[in-house]
DNA sequence: AGCTTATTTGAGTGATCACTCAAGTGTGAT
DNA sequence: ATCACACTTGAGTGATCACTCAAATAAGCT
């Protein structure tokens, strides 16, 4: 038979990620993966060793993309706090096939996997911890910019924020009514924005420190 | 072979619920169910028709138990608001094999199932809606007792509360550090309690309306 | 052009899946 | 005691699972 051209690892991982994110680890079969990656079993196993290894590679890819995206937001945002609030609003605005309408892949993995999937669970937790660290950095940045009171605790705020963002994505996935989702997202976004000290006070404090 | 004594439907459903809740729909095999229910395939199928039908029966049992438990809380609580806050604190206090440390079964189901599992998803959403209705009733009760301002919106508060309770249970399952979980639970519980109007104002308002 | 190596294929492996059904056994009625 | 019916069993069904490997083909080197 005519041999296919060599596979594109990045494209294969994207396809695998999308499939696992949609169907979960246990409900995704090799048959599904063959179709999505356009590779035959021999090739899949040559390239990725096992279904589990492929899942872990996809998970890492998800984590890196999310972390990088968050860092870009952090670098580009005039107001980190507003950026964080807007991330929540974006969840409510998304359409059904938007990744924002899906639960966080790391959370989905932890809810989905069983005690037989220790390695997968361990990596998911580790990536969740690292994502929390990224949120901490964003809250620290907000604090350093005078957007938060000096006694604000970025670690606590980040933990709360990550939990609530995650909940919001799950609500989006569970397809509660659109209006309800908007209301919930707005509540949570405003809660983030209400953390700030008022702009006048922030400017005065900034002037004093320079 | 010697025939087993007839199965106990309630006990079977409890065992099935526990197993599906632990392992999820797709990762639970008939072999697992045989062991957990102490029934052979022929009996399982005679009693429950299919794996999916058994899952749906277990889901309904979960929903009924949760709803009844919430209603009991509503009936017995002097302060519905405090009861709601304490539900959150209980999540942080639980040990690892406590059902409170597991994600809500309805949420887990919706995160876990695929597009091939429409019926399961539909029932889960319906039960989630009904649970939300129960939370609405509790917030309405709190309002009628003067625990909430007259302009408080029980529908919005219930939606927010359900989402956050759900998130908290997922955090408990994901095994973030215990201290972090306590802090998060306390944050959320206090947020609920901060909804109240002050007791003095509540008493005055109660006197005026009688 | 020929050869070696790398990569892909896809039929096939052994195991497991959800589910079936003929046979065996317990129960209740007569 | 006998019989009919209800209920359980567990070997077996057809399908699918994750994964393998001998064979075929493309690519690169000489």
* B116 beta carbon to strand C: under 7 Å: no
Chain C, protein-covered positions (CB within 7 A): 7-12, 16-22, 24-27
The full set of domains in chain B, from first to last, is 59-209 (1.10.357.10)
Query: How many pairs of residues across A and B have Cβ atoms under 8 Å apart?
Result: 97
> Would you state the pLDDT for residue A196?
75
CA distances from A163 to A72, A140, A190, B124 (A): 21, 18, 16, 22
With pLDDT > 70 as the criterion, what percentage of chain B qualifies?
Answer: 92
> Would you state the pLDDT for residue B86?
93
> Would you state the pLDDT for residue A201?
47
Mean pLDDT of chain B: 89
At B191, list the tokens. 């947020």
Residue B197, number of CB atoms within 10 A of its CB: 16
* A42 beta carbon to strand D: under 7 Å: yes
CA-CA-CA-CA torsion sign (A138, A143, A145, A148): positive
The four Cα atoms A136, A140, A143, A148 give a dihedral, to 10 degrees, of 10
pLDDT band at B204 (very low <50, low <70, confident <90, very high): very low
* Each residue's pLDDT tens digit, B23-81: 999 999 999 999 999 999 999 999 999 999 999 999 999 999 999 999 998 888 889 99
Residue whose CA is minimally distant from C20 C1': B42
> What does the alpha-carbon distance between residue A120 and residue A111 come to, in Å, rounded to a whole number?
11
**Ranges of chain A whose pLDDT falls below 70:** 1, 198-210
* A200 beta carbon to strand D: under 7 Å: no
| CB contact (8 A) between residue B114 and residue A175 | no
> Would you state the pLDDT for residue A199?
52
> What does the alpha-carbon distance between residue B114 and residue A3 come to, in Å, rounded to a whole number?
33
**Which range, B88-92, B98-102, B193-197, is most confident?**
B88-92
> Would you state the pLDDT for residue A1?
61
One-letter-per-residue 3-state SS of chain A: CCCCCCCCHHHHHHHHHHHHHHHCCCCCCHHHHHHHHCCCHHHHHHHHCCHHHHHHHHHHHHHHHHHHHHHHHHHHCCCHHHHHHHHHHHHHHCCCCCHHHCCCHHHHHHHHCCHHHHHHHHHHHHHHHHHHHHHHHHHHHHHHCCCCCCCCCHHHHHHHHHHHHHHHHHHHHCCCCHHHHHHHHHHHHHHHHCCCCCHHHHHHHHHHHC
Contact status of B61 with chain A (Cβ, < 8 Å):
no
* Each residue's pLDDT tens digit, B173-203: 987 788 999 999 998 988 888 887 755 444 4
> What does the alpha-carbon distance between residue A201 and residue A51 come to, in Å, rounded to a whole number?
55
pLDDT band at B207 (very low <50, low <70, confident <90, very high): very low
């Amino acid at each position: 038979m005519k041999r296919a051209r060599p596979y594109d690892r990045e494209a294969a991982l994207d396809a695998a990620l999308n499939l696992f994110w949609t169907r979960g680890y246990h409900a995704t079969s090799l048959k599904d993966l063959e179709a999505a990656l356009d590779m035959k079993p021999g090739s899949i196993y040559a390239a990725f060793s096992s279904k589990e290894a492929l899942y872990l590679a996809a998970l890492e890819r998800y984590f890196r993309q999310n972390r990088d995206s968050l860092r870009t937001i952090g670098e580009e945002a005039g107001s980190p706090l507003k950026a964080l609030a807007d991330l929540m609003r974006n969840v409510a605005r998304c359409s059904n096939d938007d990744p924002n309408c899906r639960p966080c892949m790391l959370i989905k993995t932890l809810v989905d996997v069983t005690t037989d999937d220790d390695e997968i669970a361990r990596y998911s937790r580790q990536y969740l911890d690292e994502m929390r660290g990224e949120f901490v950095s964003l809250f620290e940045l907000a604090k350093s910019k005078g957007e938060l009171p000096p006694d604000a605790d970025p670690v606590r705020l980040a933990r709360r924020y990550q939990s609530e963002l995650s909940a919001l994505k799950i609500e989006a996935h569970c397809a509660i009514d659109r209006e309800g989702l908007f209301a919930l997202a707005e509540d949570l976004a405003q809660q983030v924005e209400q953390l700030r000290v008022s702009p006048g006070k922030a400017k005065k404090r900034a002037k004093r420190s320079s």
